[in-house]
Structure 1
Amino acid sequence: MFTSRTVLAPEVVLRGAALHFGRHSTLDMDLLAGELAVSRATLYRAVGSRDKLLGEVFGMISRRLFASARARVGPITGPADVLALTRAYIGLLDAAHQLRTFMAADPQIASRVLFTTAGETQRTSVTEQAQVFREAGLKGEDLERRAFLYVRIVESVIFAELLGAGPLKLTDAEPALRALLD
């Protein structure tokens, strides 16, 4: 094990955390510290908090799924492509077993990380969505705000059970999403 003065590279911690999450569908900081061959204190100094690290892991998963969805959809040339990308992304996210398992086991932590600034996943999602809007040719000074609303509506569908709404389908939200794309 490294000494207490060990400095962990962020990419090493994130890669290790993502692998750990993939194997366990959770993030046990004691186990992760052992897997990284560092003390728990060193791990916390490197990441700040479990929520922050979970947010980074969720962000990594989201970015990979989003990239896969973009590859399936192809160029984003208009509002119809934005919706197609959203459908593809939700389909891939629904198949992300580890994330679904974590949400069922730790709904309060998942909600805190996904829906608040604790995990910073939302800010990344809004930034990516605004970029998709630009690619689709959407214009306006309110593009970031529309991206925020779009992401929140999509999150409401994806994470309906965490929000106490029971299962929802994207088709339920599509009229609101289309209104943001006009």
Structure 2
Amino acid sequence: MTVSTDDIVRHAARLLYSGTRLDLGRMAAELGISRTTFFRRVGNRDDLMGAGLRLLSDRTWQRALDHWHEQHGDAVRAPEGRLRCLWVMEEYRREVAGNEGMRKLIEAESTVALRVLTDPRGAVQPALVDAHVELFRADAEAAGLTPLVGLPDLAFAVVRLGESFLYSDVLAARTVDLTVATTLLDTLVRGALEPTAAG
């Protein structure tokens, strides 16, 4: 059986999710391919970690969207008036913060993990910014809102601020406080998308 790049990335994602360190030599052996083939398919360890974390991030984001749809269908607002994007963002952060594999990775390899997670030219952060832009655009159109700033700028600010809270224990020796993160990020997004309501 041919082992594809996607097979390797999925294997890496499973290991990261379970909190297992990525050992590329061991992974190659587990998949039954040579180290040369392994590296040719996925690049170096940072590259593979980025691809695996991107896959996990994409899946987490999609689960948050699916949970919204299960509860509220195609509505752009919850019954209390909260925009869908705010709910999805909060759900995403809660899942990431609560994932034991992610916490183990950051505790064991904080420098590498944070570099991979927050690299603006890497696999994870740009994709997450794009996902936010897409959701902000969909919500703004469905709710008839006129954003005060460009959606890519808003999405970048939200993702960067979200990172500073999700990884605050490592970045700033502060306790991760998702309640404060939600308050600040909701205020930021509502101020850009719903200035009248936010005021």
Alignment of 1:2-151 (within 5 A): 8-74=3-69, 75=74, 77=76, 80-117=83-120, 119-137=122-140, 139=146, 142-151=150-159
Q: 1:95-141, CA deviations, whole angstroms, 9 ceiling, x for partnerless residues?
A: 21111111111000101101114642011001100001011115557
Q: Which amino acid aligns with 1:155?
A: E
**Shift in Å, 1:61:** 0.8
CA distance in 1 between counterparts of 2:75 and 2:130 reads: 16
Tell me how large the CA RMSD over aligned residues is: 2.3
3-state SS of 1:38 partner: coil
1:162 alignment partner in structure 2: 170
Q: What residue ranges of structure 1 are gaps of 5+ in the alignment?
A: none
Q: Residues 107 and 118 from structure 1, CA distance in 2 versus in 1: closer, same or farther, beyond 3 angstroms?
A: farther
3-state SS of 1:27 partner: coil
| Cα pair 2:64 2:88 within 8 Å, conserved | yes
% same residue: 27
| Cα pair 1:25 1:99 within 8 Å, conserved | no
Q: Which amino acid aligns with 1:153?
A: L
3-state SS of 2:169 partner: coil
Q: What residue ranges of structure 2 are gaps of 5+ in the alignment?
A: 195-199
Q: TM-score scaled by structure 1?
A: 0.85
Q: Residues 42 and 89 from structure 1, CA distance in 2 versus in 1: closer, same or farther, beyond 3 angstroms?
A: same
For these two proteins, the number of residue pairs brought into alignment is 177
3-state SS of 1:111 partner: helix
CA distance in 2 between counterparts of 1:33 and 1:51 reads: 16
Q: Which amino acid aligns with 1:115?
A: T
| Cα pair 2:16 2:53 within 8 Å, conserved | no
CA distance in 1 between counterparts of 2:10 and 2:47 reads: 14
